[in-house]
Amino acid sequence: MKQKIGKYILEEIKVDENVKTLTACTQPRKIAELSRQVAEEMDVVLGEEVGYRTWFEDCTSGTTILGLRPLKEAIDDPLLEKYQVIILDEVHERSLVADALLGYLNIVLKKRPDLKLVVMGATLEVDKFQSYFDGAAIVEAPGRFNPVQIVYMQDPIEDYIEAAILIVLQIHLSEPPGGILVFLMGEDEIEYVCQEITRRV
């Protein structure tokens, strides 16, 4: 859903070459992957219309109109004047960075009434946020529940990664279309399992 928000905003705002839309992610480790998802959703090349920038990596260009990055631009541009819209995502995951950004942007908004701020989170105390941002509008997107069937192994497994791959393949080949959710221990395992499933399929 979050990648669609950026796409919707770009479709609605008037874009010119001197004005950009900034999506600020409060969790920098997710920026690269989220940028790839957004670029895929918009059917554009990553690094062109959609890009990301971190302290150590810059995957943007002169044509980037939707950028996902921490708000380090504030050092050189205190009022963020290049940007029309800022999306601050996952603010329910409280952190020093997120709280500092909320405070900073609240000050910026008072000096830049043209700037739009979208604050998103799964479990926000919306009344407090609305009060903090001077009666801002609230848009609720109700969650959806999908039927889930949980599969347990009957016996202990020595290699749970290989077992997960085999179970996913078995479900994929024998069940009707649907999603398969596998919980793993970290990014390396997730990437390995995805590669192996793709290779074996």
Contact 74/80 with Cβ under 8 angstroms?
Answer: yes
> Distance between CA 136 and CA 157 in Å, rounded?
52
Query: Nearest 10 degrees: CA dihedral of 91, 127, 5, 100?
Result: -30
> Distance between CA 125 and CA 16 in Å, rounded?
35
| Interval 12-29 mean pLDDT | 55
DSSP 81: T
**Bridge partners of residue 24, in order along the sequence:** 69, 88
Pairing of strands 66-69, 50-53: parallel
pLDDT in tens, 128-164: 888 989 888 888 877 777 788 887 788 888 999 999 9
Q: Average pLDDT over the chain, rounded to whole?
A: 78
- What integer pLDDT is reported at residue 91 of this predicted model? 78
Cα–Cα separations (whole angstroms), residue 92 to 80, 148, 162: 24, 25, 35
- What integer pLDDT is reported at residue 195 of this predicted model? 94
CA angle 1, 33, 9 (to 5 degrees): 40
b/e per residue 35-48 (b: at least 16 CB within 10 A)? bbbbbeebebebbe
- What integer pLDDT is reported at residue 164 of this predicted model? 93
The candidate with the shortest Cα–Cα distance to 64, out of 96, 103, 28, 38, is 38
| Interval 88-105 mean pLDDT | 80
Q: In sequence order, which residues have a C-beta less than 8 Å from that of residue 70 and are 6 or more positions away?
A: 24, 25, 28, 31, 54, 55, 97
The band of 75, judged by pLDDT with boundaries at 50, 70 and 90, is confident
Q: Which of 17-26, 85-94, 151-160, 181-190 has the lowest mean pLDDT?
A: 17-26
- What integer pLDDT is reported at residue 168 of this predicted model? 93
pLDDT in tens, 21-74: 555 555 555 677 777 777 787 788 887 777 777 767 777 777 666 666 656 667
The candidate with the shortest Cα–Cα distance to 98, out of 127, 119, 122, 112, is 119
